[in-house]
Structure 1
Amino acid sequence: MPAAAVVVVLAAVGSADAAAGPVLKERPAVAGAATQGSRLFVSHGSWSGAGSLRYSYAWYRCDTMGRHCRFLRGVDNRSHTLGENDVGHTLSVAVRATDSAGSTRAFASLVGPIAGARPHIDSLAQPLVAGSPLQGSTVRVDTGRWRPKPSAFVFQWARCNAELRACKAISGETRDTHDIGAADLGHVLVAIVQARSGATSRAVFSTATELAVAGGGAAQPAGCGPSLTTAPAVAEVLQQGNQLTGSVGSWSGKGTITYTYSWYRCDAAGAHCKRIHGATRLSHLQSARDVGHTLGFAVHATDSAGTTTAYAALLGPVAAAGATLVSTGAPAISGAAAAGQTLQVSSGSWSQPPSALGYQWQRCNPNGRLCTPIAGATASSYVLTADDSGHKLLAVVHATAGTAAQDAFSGAALVAAAAPPAGPSNSAAPTVAGTVEQGAQLTGSAGSWTGSGTIAYGFNWFRCDAAGAHCLSIHGATKPTYTQGAKDVGHTIGFAVHATDSAGTSTAYAALLGPVAPASAPLASTAQPTIAGTAAPGQALQATGGSWSQPPSAVGYQWQRCNANGRLCVPIDGATASTYTAAAADTGHTLLVVETATLNGVQQAALSTHTAVVP
């Protein structure tokens, strides 16, 4: 089912390459772990068209921001097993639907960047974005699911094109929410969620919004429609052979509002939902195929301005025709849905009085789908924690009567998202001094900070690859100084400062250093190259050479485009002079230059400090 009950804008997700053909109703989605060796599966989404529909698939390998995508030859089915060549890249997949009138193409959200085999932290479920992408509205991203449980998250919002690719980071947008502004119009929005667990960090893309469109007092574009005031609901006897009857809820809109309906069959966790063919009425007769599954119900409300979709709470699992214990009324949740508050679930109604009841609370996405059990939450009440913020919570009630047993899903409660923790404000970034060579000591400075009362500092050193990617925290390296070891040779080194005051903790990063030279190398960087000039499209930047352990006989340059933290850098084609004029393609990125020094046939590279984010 769709990732959020928001306004549906069909033009936002279909490519403009087809004038006739099927109409997309639900965007394709990719499932699977973004890890080398895992298999990704794409669902074709939901379409309407003339007669039977045929589907074909195309997979693309892109850079870390969904750019420079290359078609993967021979990968033309619904699944793709991630290989070594995918590591460090994002993947995009296009689904082409064809009917008798023509064909239409739509893209799934970007997946990745892909981690290498046996990552220290594994992304189990892609972060989800919820909220309506209307100007003036706020969208929110959850953290997804990870193993092991992360200790902290960092967010970076980005704007992408209508094909959900070619993303650019939005300067300063580093919270779990983003307010839709004029600059977002015509783009889809994603969040890059970076999780940290112990000595490891990893970033992945969230699902994407629809195209951001004007809202408020502006003329409503196609796809806007009625506003929901009361969610749809379903009257139930959850048993094969019985009829379910939905209610449309309450809506307001322009003029007459008409309604259409969809029913979905999902697995027992409310995932892998598929539209039930032909189930387009207000009622649905439960069949043998529904037994053991949960069911979803959607209402599509249309007025003169467009169409909006909303969903009832999940129902189920459906009991078999001969079952003696059947849910006749869903359990209900009461209580304030906020961290620290207590929720209580009722037992629901049953075809006969249960002799015993059991409970399992579950944490779901903002649509009440893709639910996972909460460890230890097996009472009729549950105290909400910070981990529940931004999720919907429900309880599965397990009823027993004699030898008969049956589960029933409760309604879902949306937990208010906790505000990101406050903390000191960084006014001058941390820096690092020292010779970048095995055996030499590097010394970091905390930079400049302002905060509430006394500020305490913690430190982390990271070992990254030559492109500033796949960074791992160096075990035990938690002081402002660090002595480079044999494992660092050929790698870049990162330094982070965690500043804590009475309000919370904030983190800032120094520019990457390296690559680290081996011990006794004839050339080693003793001071980073720097960049002068204004980082803006059309403006010239000048690299100033760093310092070396002895004067090189020649130097060369390669400019690179990086993420907002000066990491995950890729070379810029043809940019090999000491000067570089920033281009439109650099918007949303930082820039740095790699200076390569040569002496007596020996070469050593050094990364410069990076620029500010190019606006």
Structure 2
Amino acid sequence: MKLAYQWLRDGVPIPGATGRRHRVVAGDIGHALSVRITGSRSGFTSTVQESAAVGPVVGSRLTAANPWLYGTAQVGKTLAAGVRPWGPGTVTLAWQWYRDGDKIAGATAASYVLVAADAGHTIVVGVSGSAPRFETATRFSEPTGAVGPGVLHPTPVPLYSGVAKVGETLTALPRQWGPGTVTLTYQWYRSSATGDVRIAGATRAKYTLVDADAGYRVKVRVTGSEPGFTTVRVYSAWTSTIRPARTTAPSTTHG
């Protein structure tokens, strides 16, 4: 009698799997295997028998290690992941970062730059290892502490340009702040015998000196803010004493 074999995966024939033995491959993991045997002999009707299914097939287990984190848990800083080698053989590793247990979209590298949305939350990295004929395994790092706000840098002392005289316009020169895009706002102040006086409505980069400024000095405060970072306020130096506008003597008519 002649016997023919066909191996099945979840009841579906496996292409090329027609021997008495079937070598389990990665594609079999998670599926049930069975074999169909067809017996034939000249002058006789062929007979087909199918074995009971075995499975689902499980892969061998990888030797997996937990990753660890290094870096400062602060907005704007970079966290990096490290892990000991996995085995046996060549294991492909894939990374995923999590914020309070939720996946961070697109954060799939071995390092991650903390953003404003991370402030006040904990961060974990997961690493998944895969290899043919092995079950995929995932391990997680210990969480960071709550991510702290970032520190703006640089935050230069502002300068100003213009003439310290009533009627003239002073312009604040904040210079370059960082990192990223920092929103700057302004407030001008006038000196007085009792302390600095905030000038009402003087909240732009330019300020035109008025009569009330004469005899006093003026300075500007620049406030830098960026989501996830601590707000910073810096002050310029005082101007020299503001001079009054030049007055013109009233004209007279001589007869």
Return the TM-score normalized by structure 2: 0.36
Give the number of the structure whose residues are more often strand, by fraction: 1
Q: Which has the higher contact order (CA 8 A, sep 6+)?
A: 2
Could you state the TM-score of these two structures normalised by the residue count of structure 1? 0.16
Q: Which has the larger radius of gyration?
A: 2
